[in-house]
Amino acid sequence: MAKTILSVDDSASIRQMVKLTLSGAGYDVIQANDGAEGLEKAKGAKVDMVMTDLNMPIMNGLALIKELRKLPAYQGVPILFLTTESDAGLKSEAKAAGATGWITKPFQQDQLISVVKKVLG
């Protein structure tokens, strides 16, 4: 069965790019516009991996990661975050919140796939 990835990003173009790339690699992708919507969708589906932007309105990525890790179903589910910053502070903050890894924007499609494979198998 195809694994399901939840993509949370306020940028429609990034969401679209992520969906195109990961669907092409054989994953099922569900999408959310912001952290709050992401949390709702995460609760309502069996998700194998979450990929979220950090900088989002309503609920930002850090808050989403923290909320997800409070859910028993999301203990151990890989969570990747998208970041443009080379800011180590933000990375360690996201890691401390429970993130598994990150992808630095801009990235190529094959880079995205290889990072997803790295944490999802």
SS3 label, residue 57: coil
Decide: is 16 part of the binding site for other proteins (CB under 8 A). yes
| 8 Å CB contact between 36 and 59 | yes
- Cβ of residue 34: shortest distance to other proteins, in angstroms? 11
- How would you class 121 by CB atoms within 10 Å of its CB: exposed for 0-12, middle for 13-18, buried for 19 or more? exposed
What x/- string results for residues 68 through 107 when contact with other proteins is judged by CB under 8 A? -x-----xxxxx--x-x-x-----x--x--xxxxxxxxxx
Q: Which of residues 29-48 bind other proteins (CB under 8 A)?
A: 31
| 8 Å CB contact between 48 and 1 | no
Q: Which of 3, 4, 11, 28 binds other proteins (CB under 8 A)?
A: 11
Decide: is 62 part of the binding site for other proteins (CB under 8 A). no
- Cβ of residue 4: shortest distance to other proteins, in angstroms? 15
SS3 label, residue 16: helix
